[in-house]
A and B are shown apart, each in its own frame.
Chain A
């Protein structure tokens, strides 16, 4: 079984600050990490590999330093890593990104047929959850989003069953391969790499594909040109001055609750009381 895991190097959003003067996002000094959901996806893929054999390829599109993120994935046991990087990809939104990644996966598929593609449910810097579904659509793959666990894969029948978190419960869904899964934070704990894997990852060459190597000829579909999304404004939300307040009421009866609320309103705003009392009934 050949599994491709799409990952993204993201700034650790817990450590991002907004520039107090210019209001722009300060990335300087913020550590880059592998998008946490993508790591759950990778772990699920590695577990499938442990059970059924095969290989795991990690793929990312990003700047040259995204190689660090790929190398990290190699330490966990991924077999191969591909970085799609080219100035032409700069400024890509989710539409252009899914176009480029889909092209790269098509390229990978030509070498060794891809049975499964994993992505995280979303990245923590963009929060759109659009790239995974975008890739599935472009490659005509079955799509399962918000998956918490892959229950079973039947390679002979080319079928797979997953648990998908939905509102109010868990759905158990089955579909056929090839398919794309976007992973939630599952119950899987990330593995601790062996020394051998650490050595292999440190020595393994990450494959670098530019636009042409990724098999993309139409430059109007990638980067800024291929991105209809326009960022019109970036701003830091203002902290609210007002505070929430927990109001304790005596008794559970609707009347008591209503009275407590009304009293509260009147103590806060005596003018309101006068206005209401002054109204002719």
Chain B
């Protein structure tokens, strides 16, 4: 006799774990199915953990979660071929508990999160792939897994199966991924002794530094790079839109190799031993790419719903929040003895709209297309700014006024007066 559950959660990443945990705590009989050998074995992220989103699910997570370093310094670098120009923000306030952001190693973190889910009462089955959704007409009534006796039934299915979301696509809930809506990111973890990391980044204890980068490291493609400090390792990576990789015939690994040899980056990672290499798709289509996220007996959470704020490099917090809000919706309906119809589940979308998830995505809804059509933001401006800084800082007998004139001329020569105005307007529109 096939088993029946109140809810089946497909996937054990941040959104699936948030949903399964909340549902199980709410007293539902929950089955969570994960394709990987263990939760975290297939999951890839930079990775920064945003405490707030997790705190709303597990308030005392800091007691036993595997956290690497709390972030006390954020650097934003704009790079040309030989320099970077940017800002560093370091604050002792960020060094006061409770900390706001942490670097994490996802394989460890996800294992911990999954343990919490199991302790909350959900049943977790790993190494099992959900092949199809079981349908009764329009209504989802369960899942078909790849194992013998693999049909399992539930009142509702939470699709937390990640950026590709084969299930949602197969069931026709979501269109095929558009290469202009997803970034392909690669990252490496380099082992370095704690003392070396502390010395290189001026750190002590569990404090950490985050560097976000953009500019010529992506060679005109729309994307960003990053470098995070962990306890005993550095994470370095770069991601660009899939469509750009395709049109530029560039491989992500080549891009990362070039980035690692940049004179501003190479000394930071020197002497490290590569421990891990990973690549993953990131849904960066933004607000306009968000699919339908609820229907008859199903909801979509996390990457599968395109909940990533590419501008602020936030994703896991949106994922956790969407998982929690979906679960809270399901619990409310269960309590009111209302069925999981598309109409009732529309509450989930409303909750998301009222949260930072949709508000932020909406704010930056024009940004992907602006940056995509204007590669000068990744090539010309970093170069111009770097040259400007160099012109001003190099002491060579030239008077400052002439230097300023030269800088102005270089901007106009490269972008024209009209172009500069247009670019300013585009930037304002993108970030408005």
Interface of A with B (CB < 8 Å)? Answer: 17, 20-21, 26, 28-29, 31, 68, 75, 192-196, 198-199, 202-203
Contact = CB atoms under 8 A, between A and B. Distances in A.
B127 to A, nearest CB: 8
Interface string B215-255: 00000000000000000100000000000000000000000
Contacts of A192: 147-148
A51 B319 CA distance: 48
Contact of B125 (A17, A29, A68, A199): A199
B123 A194 contact: no
Contact of A195 (B108, B150, B232): B150
Contacts of B37: 31
**Interface on chain B toward A: helix, strand, loop, or mixed SS?**
loop
B267 interface: no
B193 A17 contact: no
A29 B276 CA distance: 10
B232 A28 contact: yes
A122 B125 CA distance: 29
A203 B123 CA distance: 8
Given A194-B149, A198-B147, A17 B191 contact: yes
Interface residues of B, number: 24
Nearest to B276: A29
Contacts of B124: 202
A17 B123 CA distance: 34
Interface of B: 3, 37-38, 41, 105, 107-108, 123-125, 127-128, 145, 147-150, 152, 191, 193, 232, 273, 275-276
Contacts of A203: 123
A21 B193 contact: yes
A198 B276 contact: no
Contact of B128 (A17, A26, A198): A198
A199 B273 contact: no
**Interface on chain A toward B: helix, strand, loop, or mixed SS?**
mixed
A192 B150 CA distance: 12
A199 B37 CA distance: 15
B191 A20 contact: yes
A278 B147 CA distance: 79
B149 A196 contact: yes
B113 to A, nearest CB: 16
A195 B273 contact: no
A29 B3 contact: no
A193 B105 CA distance: 30
A84 B150 CA distance: 33
B108 A194 contact: no
Given A20-B273, A29-B105, A195 B149 contact: yes
A187 B185 CA distance: 40
A194 B273 contact: no
Contacts of B152: 195
Contacts of A194: 147-149
A208 B105 CA distance: 30
A193 B232 contact: no
Contacts of A196: 148-149
Contacts of B149: 194-196
A198 B34 CA distance: 12
20 contacts: A17-B273, A20-B191, A20-B193, A21-B193, A28-B232, A29-B108, A31-B37, A31-B38, A68-B38, A193-B147, A194-B147, A195-B128, A195-B147, A195-B149, A195-B152, A196-B149, A198-B147, A199-B125, A202-B124, A202-B125
